[in-house]
Each structure stands twice: as structure tokens, then as C-alpha cells.
């Protein structure tokens, strides 16, 4: 399923890239394709419930991270994707992000803008009896689908662009917690398997900043808050810093922080940047 999902994202990416690359002569002349193979680090905190217990369990985990970031951009359209795989101390994680943004009146300073992002994260965690006594072991499998349409107004001045926006955020979380039970007289007993599904709706508000300095330093920062009645406010921050040594290559770093209902992640990426 994960491989098929990535292939679908890649096909969609290339299809839309081909469509919009010829959308207008001026936009096509000023288009750029960015390809970043990246490696890094992940810090993860996940909360879950064990059936029969009223206390929420908290697991903190970290490990290595590998991924590929791609982005196509011209003055009126942006399309990007990020796929990554992580091996943590006690978990495995796969994640995919696809985002797009379209600027109306792109030759003007003020540009009405619409955007859309879809995010998928899959976690598999296996704990031993030292982590959750007296159980012999515990498996936690969680998958999160998130979709985030936005609308706002971009302001462009030279090499600086700011895009304040509001939006709607839907998050669907599937969690499966299972265990063979506990060792009693040499046998596992009282095993269980619990499934849960929640769908959450949020109002979002945030902004994105994009600036190029001295023709070879690029900084892109995006943040937004998610609000939901009778629930805590969630925060997401995505940063990318590019330093180019020529028109065709450089180095890039990416730092992402985001909160979900029962999960918090910090990603730190670093790798070469190739421009086409």
C-alpha cells in the first residue's frame, strides 16, 4: 500500500507538472524544478490507551530519517511532495506530503491564492515487557490522513513573498493496539486487540514567508495553528533553508515540527539540492 501510494503521488506530481509547465509562456520561462535527497533525524512522541486502563500511555522515540523532497514552481503555481522513511529505536515510520498552491493575478503585488495539502503518516511500534509490564509485548499501529485546503492573499515585493491564509483541516486517525497478554504459568493469557477511529475537523490560520537573499540564499517558512472547540490548539511549523553554490546545485536543510491529536513529531533533514 505504501509503495502504491508513493507511485500515485509521483504520477500525479508529474502529470500536473506537465500541465502547468506550459500554462503560460512567461511562467514557463521562469519555472524551476527542485530535487532534494535528504537524510536526518526524527523525534516522536505518541500517546495511546491500553484497553482496561484509564491512563494514557506516552512513548518517546527517536531515530534516523531518509527522504526525497521535490518541488516545481513558476510565478503562478507551486507543487511539491515529500516522502520519508524512519527507523526509530522502537518504531518504524513512513510519511508522505503532497502540497500545491495557485496564485491568481501573479504579475501583481497582491495575489489571491488558494492552496491544498494532503499528509499521510503510518507508524508501527513494538514494545517489550520492560516497557509495559506485566504484558509480554504490545504492538501499536497508527495511520493518519490529513487534508488541508487554504485560501488567502499573497503579497510579493521583489524577492520577498508573504502569504497569510485561513483554511479547513480534517484529520482521520486509525489506531490498533494489540498484545498477546501476560505470562502466567509459562503461557500468554488475557490477550487483546483494540481498534479505534476518529475524524477531527479544525479551523486553521497561519502564514508563509519566502525570501531570497544575495541570489544564493533561500528561506521558506510556513506555520499555522489549528483550532477546535473544547480541544487544545495544535501548531505546525515547516522551514527550509537553501544555500546555492551555482545555478544548478547547493545544499538544503529542512526542519518540520507538527502536532496531531495524539502525536508530536520533529523532523530535521539535510542534503544536496539540485535545480533543473
Query: CA 168 from chain center: how many Å?
Result: 16
Per the prediction, the chain carries an average pLDDT of: 85
Q: Is the pLDDT of residue 9 over 90?
A: no
Judge contact between 266 and 256, C-beta under 8 A: yes
Q: For 147-202, write each residue's pLDDT tens digit.
A: 999 999 999 998 899 999 999 999 998 989 898 888 777 777 888 888 989 999 99
Confidence at residue 200, expressed as pLDDT on a 0 to 100 scale: 93
- Work out the pLDDT band at 17, boundaries 50, 70, 90: low
Q: Is the pLDDT of residue 2 over 50?
A: no
More confident residue, 14 or 101: 101
Q: Which domains does the chain have, with CATH numbers?
A: 2-275 (2.40.128.130)
The whole-number average pLDDT for the span 41-61 is 79
The whole-number average pLDDT for the span 250-269 is 90
- How far is 122 from 112, CA to CA, in rounded Å? 34
The whole-number average pLDDT for the span 244-259 is 92
Q: Which of 3-17, 78-92, 233-247, 249-263 has the lowest mean pLDDT?
A: 3-17
- How far is 77 from 88, CA to CA, in rounded Å? 36
Q: Within 13 Å, how many C-alpha atoms sit on residue 198's CB side?
A: 9
- Work out the pLDDT band at 90, boundaries 50, 70, 90: confident
Q: Which of 48-52, 226-230, 270-274 has the lowest mean pLDDT?
A: 48-52
Residues 6+ apart with CB under 8 A from 229: none
Q: Is the pLDDT of residue 131 over 90?
A: no
Q: Is the pLDDT of residue 39 over 90?
A: yes
Confidence at residue 44, expressed as pLDDT on a 0 to 100 scale: 86
Sign of CA dihedral 36, 79, 228, 237: positive
- Work out the pLDDT band at 22, boundaries 50, 70, 90: very low
Amino acid at each position: 500500500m505504501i509503495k502504491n501510494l508513493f507511485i500515485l503521488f509521483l504520477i500525479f506530481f508529474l502529470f500536473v507538472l506537465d500541465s502547468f509547465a506550459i500554462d503560460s509562456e512567461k511562467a514557463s520561462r521562469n519555472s524551476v524544478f527542485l530535487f532534494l535527497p535528504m537524510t536526518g533525524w526524527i523525534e516522536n512522541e505518541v500517546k495511546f490507551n491500553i484497553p482496561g486502563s484509564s491512563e494514557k500511555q506516552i512513548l518517546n522515540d527517536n531515530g534516523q530519517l531518509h527522504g526525497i523532497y521535490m518541488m516545481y514552481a513558476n510565478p503562478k503555481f507551486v507543487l511539491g511532495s515529500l516522502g520519508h522513511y524512519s527507523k526509530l529505536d522502537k518504531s518504524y515510520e513512513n510519511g508522505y506530503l503532497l502540497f500545491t498552491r495557485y496564485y491568481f493575478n501573479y504579475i501583481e503585488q497582491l495575489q489571491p491564492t488558494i492552496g491544498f495539502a494532503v499528509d499521510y503518516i503510518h507508524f508501527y511500534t513494538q514494545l517489550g515487557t520492560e516497557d509495559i509490564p506485566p504484558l509480554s509485548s504490545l504492538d501499536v499501529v497508527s495511520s493518519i490522513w490529513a487534508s488541508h485546503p487554504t485560501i488567502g492573499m499573497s503579497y510579493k515585493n521583489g524577492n520577498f513573498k508573504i502569504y497569510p491564509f485561513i483554511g479547513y483541516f480534517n484529520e482521520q486517525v486509525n489506531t490498533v493496539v494489540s498484545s498477546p497478554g501476560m505470562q502466567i504459568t509459562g503461557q500468554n493469557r488475557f490477550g487483546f486487540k483494540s481498534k479505534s477511529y476518529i475524524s477531527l475537523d479544525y479551523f486553521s490560520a497561519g502564514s508563509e514567508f519566502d525570501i531570497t537573499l544575495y541570489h544564493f540564499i533561500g528561506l521558506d517558512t510556513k506555520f499555522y495553528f489549528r483550532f477546535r472547540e473544547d480541544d487544545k490548539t495544535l501548531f505546525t511549523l515547516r522551514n527550509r533553508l537553501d544555500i546555492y553554490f551555482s545555478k544548478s546545485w547547493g545544499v538544503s536543510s529542512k526542519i518540520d515540527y507538527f502536532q496531531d491529536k495524539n502525536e508530536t513529531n520533529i523532523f530535521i533533514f539535510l542534503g544536496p539540492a539540485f535545480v533543473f
